[in-house]
Amino acid sequence: METFVDLKDKIESKQAKIGVIGLGYVGLPLLMEFVEEGFTCIGFDIDENKVTLLKEKKSYIKHLSQKRIEGIVESGKFDATTDFSRISQVDCIIVAVPTPLDKHQQPDLSYIIDTSEVISKYLKQGQMVVLESSTWPGTTEEVMKPILEKSGLKYGKDFYLAFSPEREDPNNPTYTTKTIPKVVGSNDSYTLECATALYDKVIVQTVPVSSSQAAEATKLLENIFRSVNIALVNEMKMILDKMGIDVWEVIEAATTKPFGYMPFYPGPGLGGHCIPIDPFYLTWKAREYDIPTRFIELAGEINTSMPYWVVYKIMEALNEKGKSLNGAKILILGAAYKKDVDDMRESPTLKLIEILQSKGGHVDYNDPYFPKMPLVRKYQYDMESVELTPENLKKYDAVLISTAHSCYDYDHIVTHAQLVIDTRNATKKVEEGREKIVKA
């Protein structure tokens, strides 16, 4: 009890030192909020390049400005390191590491497990650990807790453990890390109070729930809701396409209803770090309870099939021009998973390249945020971004809009391209050359 009170007092007085493990799209923005609120923070990452860039006051995430990075470094309250022994120097440890799927679409908790093993080596009495990585209900209690207790310390007595799902939406102009309410859950009431106090210092609203399992399930529900509704409009798109009806016009019209409806939009597939992955975490866990997840799995099937449907539309459009996909030159616009971000995690563009190449297509890409295609876990393409000159655009048999970056001049693109396959309704305002545009 005394340790808990000491930690909570430290948090309330901003004397608590904060450690964030994982300096990516989730961890770094959160750490910056703590520093800007006056907390002393240490950022941990296994990537030496990230640590070096931060020490040089350089941003490696587009929507985190250089000025903000310079501010936290010059504050004297921030340090970045690959030395995980320094975990013993902090009071609160926030874990924001990846939770991908393996090649069999099963949850891959290796990052959480490895991080927990490292923490257990340096865990000291009175520290609090908060997991933020999206995962199945029970991970915090069933996976992290036993590993952390290898330290010889006991949960709820010697150290504290909570779950608070991240809700990052990179480059969202309306909502930031600070202004998105934060759910917090723990199976220990003292820890819940302490974790709530921690996030209250940097987040506009903290929403405590009764357990870490409830907090973990909250994150999954949020993303399954989106996955299912995106699958619905993707299926509607395929149906209405056969009927000769523009799904984008239908969505826009339906959006005028002031109740009982909210718009979701189709695309070439799901991307990002949550929606393509999180639903499968729940379906995997549900098998333990003999509960089928037909609805969730059907949505996943529809969404993962979309790149194949887009390729079918490309083949159909080329055929009408007397061309074959085999040997055709295809230029894909956008490698990021959504517009105006430098984030390629689970981008449908990666799958589109794979399918098009497997069918004999010669594929290039353009993305202003990725001059060179980076290596990712599943794909390793040796490609560089092609400049969108009139000459370059003309030489491709088809230009595929996969990500609708705001910086693209769609009038210019349509004017000089032979054929445009638009998966994002990006060309809706283009007037000249509409006969070249195929919605997909």
Instruction: Report, as ranges of residue numbers, the positions in the chain whose pLDDT lies below 50.
Output: 1-5
Question: Which residues sit opposite 133 in a β-bridge?
Answer: none
Determine the pLDDT at residue 276: 78
Question: Which residues sit opposite 98 in a β-bridge?
Answer: none
Please tell me the distance from the alpha carbon of residue 200 to that of residue 294, in angstroms, as a whole number: 38
Identity of residue 337: Y
| pLDDT tens-digit map of 215-264 | 999 999 999 999 999 999 999 999 999 999 999 999 999 999 999 999 99
Q: At what angle do helices 212-243 and 294-320 cross, to 10 degrees?
A: 30
Domains of the chain: 2-210 (3.40.50.720), 258-439 (3.40.50.720)
171-180, long-range: CB within 8 Å, 24+ apart, which pairs? 171/62, 171/63, 171/340, 171/341, 176/29, 177/29, 177/30, 177/32, 177/33, 177/202, 177/203, 178/33, 178/202, 178/203, 178/204, 179/204, 180/204
Determine the pLDDT at residue 62: 87
Q: Determine if residue 247 is left, alpha or beta; phi over 0 gives left, psi from -120 to 50 gives alpha, anything else beta.
A: alpha
Determine the pLDDT at residue 3: 47
Give the E-state strand segments of 13-149 in sequence order: 18-21, 41-44, 78-81, 92-95, 128-131
- Walk across the sheet containing 206-209 and list its strands: 78-81, 41-44, 18-21, 92-95, 128-131, 160-163, 182-185, 206-209
Among 8, 153, 155, 164, residue whose Cα is nearest residue 88: 153
Determine the pLDDT at residue 375: 83
| Catalytic positions, written as ranges | 274
From the number of C-beta atoms within 10 Å of its C-beta (0-12, 13-18, 19+), residue 289 rates as exposed
Determine the pLDDT at residue 122: 97
Prediction pTM value: 0.91
* Residue 367 burial (CB count, 10 A): 23
